[in-house]
A and B are shown apart, each in its own frame.
Chain A
Amino acid sequence: MARKVGACVLSLSSGRPPFLSQQLLQELEEEKRHDSSGDGDASTNASPAALSFAADVGTLLPGKEALKEHSAAHVESDMRSFFGLSASLFVVAQIRSGLLAPPDTSVAKGAGDVVLLSSAMERIAMPLEEYLDLASNVMHADLTECPYEAVGPGYSRKHADRALKRARQWTEKALSWWNQEDNGARSGQQLLLPVVGLDENAQQRCLEDVRKLAKEAGIASLGGAESSVGISLANLRYLDADTQITRIRKARAQAGPDVMLYAVMGTASLPQLVAALAVGANAVETSLPYMLTKLNTALSFAVEAEGPGGPLTVNLLDTRLCEDKAPISAGCPCWACERHTRGYMQHLLSAKELLGQMLLYLHNASMLIRLLEHVRALPSEEDRLAFARAWAPGLSSSLQQSETPPQPQV
């Protein structure tokens, strides 16, 4: 693939990164490019990871026709150019908002139908193939998540079994579509197959199913950078932190070292994200910078191997900061920290000024990406686990050195 997924995948807000103006998005991208180029890529001879975002296809549906026309009218056009995004941006297509609504059988008439929830909270059903076509051929997503049903500890066994069954059906159909001429597999894109097990055993069975189906579809191995499929660890967000990390670790062990393992972490905390990468996820998808920004909270730490050494965040609404001339986070090289003080940020956010959220999101995204890229780039599993133990002391039981020998492919 031309682009390489970042360790940290951020959520898009209806096609664009939340809050960011065109200039600030470019600044974030420039900073990411700069960090990547100076972060040991020469030694690994790997291309730098691209600034990565996940797009909820449901929220894009109201613009579907315009998007299709745009895609048809311009050579090499896709959702990136439609939304003014850089061509090098890494995009993951997914159905996230649709999962918030319970399955609606009156809309989803058959097993082939997936239900998406538009940003206007309108449920829209479409055949699986249409979803894949949108994601792959119209959006030109680098990674496309095969749909799955939400399932977690609060769900009934019957529901969980149905989710497993449907995941299998959708996986089979998706693989079939993916391998057809001119579709995703031929365009250098990757399909993420969902692993949705309610418990460890179910997860294991689901992963075995995925491998088997992939093999039947003619995909000899799930692994390797050139593979057209990878695995999405779905529904992790319903689990407690320790279980999340354990599940990722088991999945890595079962899947082998080369399989693309994409962990959907939702609103997981910063220590959880660090731990997830340490135990074998290739990329974590998170809305943490968005959530923190909504709470007027800034990430503030130094990336030290022995741990952050203090609180990870600062509340910028704190009136004690109103005359603070220091940057949001000392030593942070982001665009906002180089130009603005905590005092100014305190004013902007308490005055509910749009620029406050823009600068704060830029800072939070920048800090989180740098930290997570750092974790992923650590040379060995031992180093990653040691780093994670320092940063996530609460998760130490699931971060002990263990039998898991395989290394994720970075």
Chain B
Amino acid sequence: MAQSRSGPDGGAPARHGAEEEEEEHGGRGVSCGPALSVRVDETCGRARALTLALPHGPVITPVFQPVGTKGTIKGVTTQEMKEAPISCQILLGNTYHLANQPGAEVIRRMGGLHKFMNWDGNILTDSGGFQMVSLLRLAQITEEGVNFQSPSDGTELMLTPEESIRTQHRIGSDIVMMLDDVIHSCTVDDARFAEATDRTIRWLDRCIEAHKRGGEEDERNGFKSGPKHQNLFAIVQGGLDVSPGGLRERCLAEMAKRDADIPGYAIGGLAGGESKHQFWRVVDKCCRHLPAHKPRYLMGVGHPLDIVVCSALGVDMYDSVFGTRTARFGTAFTPSGSIKLKHAKFAKDAGPIAVGCPCSACRPARAGATQPAFSRASLHFLLKQASDNGVASIVTHHNLVYLLELVRSMRQAILDDRYPAFVNDFLRKQFPPEDSNAHVPLWVCEALEAAEIALDQDLSREVRDEGAQPAE
């Protein structure tokens, strides 16, 4: 059962989690562990609308989790994250970066990451393993853990499954990720993939033990961690092998044996440059085998098209820096695809980034006004000028609103039992049939076929170009 906790200001306990959730929805979910209960609100085909009752409040799915790498979403305040129109319920922190700066122990002494950054919503932290591999050339993975050179002083450090869990306990996140053996999805070494899959399972056992043993309850500053207050998610590995009896199935079968100790699952090892044909098949395989009553988190995926398709296959949770990072360079999401605001064609475009978008850029600056607070022309100008004029925050806000509104509208479509129609509408805007250069990619068609979602006649073309991108 989810717990109520005091807010970051140390004031009266906020009404959070299952208690509030039950009041709002009139029903208790299935307990997946002491700190998480899950209710399946509705399904539409394989797409799911869940409510996760977590220690810092309910999270409705499908959900996109913005990435706050170092204890902040870049350029956006926690208040903006919490309030409409973003209305974020869960965000992500990177254990590796936080452990480096300011340090997990500092965060613990400051009352945990929630208090430190003044965020009373939920937080998910990754294990730190991904950064070990992606950022550090000198990382070496052994059975004990990941051996790497400290970026600050060059000394050798060892990140073990136990240390990763201990660090995440100090951070105090609501969802803790296991340390997995991460390898690049495009690696051409079957033996290494097999080793990584088996090691990931062994490390899961060590993470489960460390999680059970760890944690603390500091009544003085309200800091609580450990299995009663945090949820350990497992990460399914197995490369791109979706063959019967292959690595993904092997990993899924082993994890199923440990299901009692696993509140939720992540699909790992993707978003690393593999082809979309391989990508969706792995997602499809994992979703078919994962337990129905537990959340499924697709790590590192946050492109709107991927989110819409993978939710059709049964994924519940996403995260990616894509939307926020590209925003800082002037790329904005719209229902008809992303646009590069620095492009000269926007220099005199008086329209909003996206008509009807409620973000701080697109909505009118004041009541009664019809023009957007920022036209494409003004954003074009600001992006071309000095970088300290706040424009990065404005476009970031827009992209976050777009992504969170997208997943909320997906959820509503699932609740209304019209997800196939939603998918068709979404694709029609991204790939207008009247545009001869815009085709729904083949992988999307195949994935939706696997999800038993039929494409409308005008979207089904004979010529399907996999490389086709949403129209600008």
Contact = CB atoms under 8 A, between A and B. Distances in A.
B350 A73 contact: yes
B119 to A, nearest CB: 10
A67 to B, nearest CB: 8
B110 A358 contact: no
A339 B397 contact: no
Interface stretch (A18-26, A275-283, A376-384, A394-402): A18-26
Interface in A81-98: 81-87
Contact of A16 (B74, B76, B101, B391): B391
A66 B393 CA distance: 22
A63 B377 contact: yes
B75 A22 contact: no
Interface stretch (A152-160, A208-216, A341-349): A341-349
Contact of A81 (B80, B106, B365, B394): B365
Interface residues on B, range: 35 or more
Contact of A355 (B72, B109, B366): B72
A13 B388 CA distance: 7
Contacts of B397: 21-22
Given A73-B350, A86-B365, A22 B393 contact: yes
B371 A23 contact: no
A350 B101 contact: yes
Interface in B147-199: none
Contacts, number: 158
B390 A16 contact: yes
B437 interface: no
A144 interface: no
Contacts of B79: 23, 339
A358 B117 contact: no
A22 B394 contact: yes
Given A77-B371, A323-B106, A16 B350 contact: no
Interface in B42-95: 70-80
Interface in A352-371: 353-359
A18 B389 contact: yes
Nearest to A18: B388
A348 B386 CA distance: 21
A351 interface: yes
A14 B389 contact: yes
B347 A66 contact: yes
Interface residues of A, number: 51
B243 interface: no
Given A22-B397, A84-B365, A347-B102, A59 B385 contact: yes
Contacts of A270: none
Nearest to B364: A81
Contacts of A353: 70-72, 74
Contacts of B72: 348, 353-356
A344 B386 contact: no
Given A25-B390, A70-B375, A323-B109, A62 B381 contact: yes
Contacts of A74: 371
A21 B381 contact: no
Contacts of B375: 66, 70, 82
B373 interface: yes
B222 to A, nearest CB: 13
13 contacts: A15-B378, A16-B391, A21-B390, A21-B393, A23-B360, A66-B381, A69-B350, A70-B378, A83-B382, A84-B378, A347-B70, A354-B393, A358-B390
Interface of B: 70-80, 101-102, 106, 109-110, 116-118, 347-348, 350, 360-361, 365-366, 369, 371, 373-375, 377-378, 380-382, 384-386, 388-394, 397
